[in-house]
Structures are given as structure tokens and as C-alpha cells.
Amino acid sequence: MSAPGSEAIVSEESGDLALARTGDAQAFANLIQRYEGKIFRLAQHITQNREDAEDVLQETFLKAYTHLDQFQGNSKFYTWIVRIAVNQALMKLRKRKTDRTVSMDEGIDTGEDIVAREIATWDPSPEEQYGREELAEILDSAVQSLAPAYRTVFVLRDIEDLSTEETAAALDLSIPAVKSRLLRARLQLREKLTKFFKHKGDDAFAYM
């Protein structure tokens, strides 16, 4: 998570944080503007629903605002709000009576699922095979088909670009648990995407 210029961003952020703690509304608005897009995307990925995602977004920043004095400053502000957002999003899922696989521990397979069934090379650039929107739809629906326990880890690590340690802290999981879930999430997504992106020539023998 260290992009060029990230030091300047961090110091600007700590300035905004210090001011926001004193009740400076503009400083808090700056913090919102920096992270609202990422938090909204994260909420959409976990809840799979735009309306719920908007609720999660509002609840996250309202909670952050009212509990800013509890932010210790020993983690990044972003990690802190991600943690709030993940909890809010999981609560939304639990409230949905139809969704039974909402616990961070449910839907976890028992070690026997580290397999690769679809073995086929992909076209050199899958991005060019599909239109932008169509590609986004394929990627979203693949993520949505993962169990929440895997989906949440994948979204934090590979979409939001949090480190393994930050993801573990945000989800209250051990580092081995994060790694194991990430591996399974990546392998399951690979299977799903291979169905769309595989090099067509590899099917040639299927017709014989």
C-alpha cells in the first residue's frame, strides 16, 4: 500500500484527523472524500446490494464521526473505517433472512477444496474479449458467488489492496486464516473465470 507520494498523503491525512478530532467538519469531510468511493465499493461487494451498500456507507462514516476519539492512531485510519464498514456490511447480511451463509466462519470448506478442476490456458488479454461493462459483470458475479468468508477476504486483499496483516486486523482473523481463505477464494475465482476466459482452441478436442 505504498504508492509514490503516499507519505504526503499520510501527513495530510494526520492533519485532517487531528482537526476532525477537534470537531472540524471540513477536515472530516476531507477524510470522507478520500475514502467514500473505496468504502462504497467494499460495501457493495460484501452486501451485493446497492441500497444496503449506501446504508453501510452512511453508518460507517457516522460511526467513525461519533467515535473518532476512540481511534487510537496505532493503525491507519483507512484500516479502522474498513473494520467498521465490514462489521456493518456483515450485519446487513445477517439481517437478510434468506441468506444463511453470513457468518465469517460459515461456508468454510475443510481443506479438501484446494483443487484445480478447470485446466485451460486463457486468451492473452481477457479484458479485450469482453466490453467494459460485460467484463465488470462477469467479475462481480464471480465474486458474489463466493461464500462471504472468502469473499470478504478477497475483497480486502485483492480489490482494496490491504496487506495480509491489515486484513487480519480488520476481520479479527489470524494471519494463517486470512492466507488460507485468500488461497481458496483465488482458486475458486480462477475456476469460475476460466469458463469465460479460456483460450477457445483448448476446446477443440472436446468435439472429437
Least distance to another protein from the beta carbon of 184, Å? Answer: 9
61, 77, 78, 150: which one binds another protein (CB under 8 A): 61
d(CA 133, CA 142): 14
DSSP H helical segments within the chain, as ranges?
Answer: 6-21, 25-47, 50-66, 77-95, 126-129, 132-144, 148-154, 164-171, 175-197
Report the C-alpha dihedral over residues 105, 115, 130, 157, rounded to 10 degrees: 40
Nearer to another protein, 18 or 175 (CB): 175
Q: Are 34 and 15 in contact (CB under 8 A)?
A: no
Stretch that binds another protein, among 1-9, 59-67, 68-76, 93-101 (CB under 8 A): 59-67
116, 204, 206, 208: which one binds another protein (CB under 8 A): 116
Nearer to another protein, 97 or 200 (CB): 200
- What is the Cα 176 distance to its own chain's centre? 18
- 80 touches another protein by CB under 8 A: no
121, 141, 144, 174: which one binds another protein (CB under 8 A): 121
Q: How far apart are the first and last CA of the chain?
A: 49
7, 25, 137, 195: which one binds another protein (CB under 8 A): 25
7, 106, 127, 172: which one binds another protein (CB under 8 A): 127
d(CA 72, CA 169): 14
- 108 touches another protein by CB under 8 A: no
- 17 touches another protein by CB under 8 A: no
- 114 touches another protein by CB under 8 A: yes
| CA-closest candidate to residue 182, choices 152, 154, 142, 145 | 154
| Number of residues this chain uses to bind another protein (CB under 8 A) | 44
Least distance to another protein from the beta carbon of 90, Å? Answer: 20
Distances in Å between the Cα of 94 and the Cα atoms of 12, 46, 68, 130, 146 are 37, 12, 26, 34, 16
Which amino acid belongs to residue 23? Answer: G
Residues at the site binding another protein, with contacts judged by CB under 8 A: 23, 25, 28-29, 32, 36-38, 40-41, 54, 57-58, 61-62, 65-66, 114-116, 119-122, 126-127, 135-136, 139, 143, 158-159, 161, 164, 179, 182-183, 186-187, 189-190, 193-194, 197
